[in-house]
Amino acid sequence: MKLRFGFIYRNKFLFLILLLSALVRFVGLVPNIAHTDEAYITEHSKILFYKIVTSFDFDPHAYKYGSFIFYFQSLVYIPFFLLGFVLTNIGIASPPPTEFHNRIIDFVEYATDTNSQFLFFEGRALTAILGVLSVFLVYLIGKSLFTKDIGLLSALFLAINPFHSRDSRYITTDVPLLFFILLAIFFMANLWKTGKLKWYVLSGIAIGLSLTIKYFPLAFLPFPLVVFLDQRNKILHFKVIISILCIIFGIWLGIPFVFKRESINLIQYEVNAQLLWYGTTLTAFISSVVSFFASFGKNQVLSLSTIIPTEITEFHSTFLIFRVLGIPLTIISLAGLL
């Protein structure tokens, strides 16, 4: 007991930051406005849970997002499924049919239909938990790479970040994706510091899992640099091969049916559809820059005016900066960058 309270006292600032992050993420979890992606994820998670229990089919048959988010959200149905099993067998709930398969179906319907509101709260709570854990990971990364004070300050900034706090209240992919990106960065930080094989393994698995949430390879981007900086021994290539295999293993864990031809076709279709959906001003600007440099060596070089963003106006800039952060935090942020 003394050891536990001593740990809390020595890390009282971290405890307060995590408590603050939990409060701003759990207070107002429900009721809250709905996110456009929540209906898709909750519906397919419910269908996946039903298929797993009734026909032992683990394929979500939906690949707008990676399978991991559907497996993760299907966890909320397990307590009510078990509760329905117990209540039915002790005679409190309606008596089960004679056939075991039909009885299983009744349990699933009990779990998904009679407790839909609380299940929705549970689903959002899972995201909120990952949001709080992300704050803790930022602390660990800052402490590992720099100092404990930098870790605490970084964790505080994420704890009160308006976007992260808001998205931690929704059944979406953004916060789970960030959690696994941060987890991979934490493992890579230890890889860079120690060069031990276990950090290659854990980094690979975390990178692979992050790819099974939203198909964004963000966690993989720093990996080649970290590997390049690790020049401690002559078996580096062996560790890199092991880590790449672990990335593949992590992808398989999150999307077990990724190697099926049907799944590959669905994933390719969904990724192409999302690339079109993410056609924003930024992607248009990047595309224009690429086109400008690609025009060199041809008969007609594009004008520099082609890479000037036409949709970014003063209104958009001020809206993004002042409406999101506010004037005081904007000034502090700019000063911090300097």
Per-residue pLDDT averaged across 123-134, rounded?
94
pLDDT over 70 (residue 244): yes
- pTM equals 0.75
Lowest mean pLDDT among 30-34, 79-83, 105-109, 139-143: 105-109
pLDDT over 60 (residue 97): no
Q: What is the pLDDT of residue 260?
A: 76
The Cα-based distances of 273 to 43, 201, 338 in angstroms read: 20, 33, 39
Q: Is 76 left (phi over 0), alpha (psi -120 to 50) or beta?
A: alpha
Q: What is the pLDDT of residue 96?
A: 47
Lowest mean pLDDT among 129-143, 147-161, 219-233: 219-233
Q: What is the pLDDT of residue 258?
A: 78
CA dihedral 178, 179, 181, 187 (to 10 degrees): 160
Distance (Å, whole) CA 40 – CA 214: 14
pLDDT over 60 (residue 299): no
Q: What is the pLDDT of residue 114?
A: 54
Per-residue pLDDT averaged across 196-202, rounded?
93
DSSP for 205-217 reads: HHHHHHHHHHS-G
pLDDT band at 69, cuts 50/70/90?
very high
Report helix, strand and coil shares of the chain as percent, to nearest 5. Answer: 75, 0, 25
Name the residue among 67, 69, 75, 52 with its Cα closest to residue 257: 67
Cβ–Cβ under 8 Å, residues 64 and 270 = yes
Question: Taking each helix axis from N to C terminus, what angle separates 327-337 and 314-324, rounded to the nearest 10 degrees?
Answer: 100
Distance (Å, whole) CA 185 – CA 207: 9
Name the residue among 151, 212, 137, 221 with its Cα closest to residue 182: 137
Which residues are CB-neighbours of 155 under 8 A, at least 6 positions away?
A: 14, 17, 18, 21, 135, 136, 138, 139, 142
Q: What is the pLDDT of residue 46?
A: 84
Q: For residue 31, is the peptide bond before it cis, meaning its omega torsion is within 30 degrees of 0?
A: yes
Lowest mean pLDDT among 131-140, 196-205, 210-219: 210-219
Q: What is the pLDDT of residue 16?
A: 93
pLDDT band at 143, cuts 50/70/90?
very high
Which residues are CB-neighbours of 201 under 8 A, at least 6 positions away?
A: 242, 243, 246
pLDDT band at 237, cuts 50/70/90?
confident
Q: What is the pLDDT of residue 278?
A: 56
pLDDT over 90 (residue 280): no
Cβ–Cβ under 8 Å, residues 220 and 172 = no
Share of the chain above pLDDT 70, in %: 65
The Cα-based distances of 90 to 34, 86, 320 in angstroms read: 38, 6, 58
Question: Taking each helix axis from N to C terminus, what angle separates 116-145 and 100-113, rounded to the nearest 10 degrees?
Answer: 70
pLDDT over 50 (residue 100): no
If one compares 202 and 319, the residue with the highest pLDDT of the two is 202
Name the residue among 273, 209, 276, 263 with its Cα closest to residue 62: 263
If one compares 264 and 88, the residue with the highest pLDDT of the two is 264
Name the average pLDDT for the chain.
Answer: 77
Tokens of 234: 């002559």
Backbone torsions φ then ψ of 92, nearest 5 degrees: -75, -40
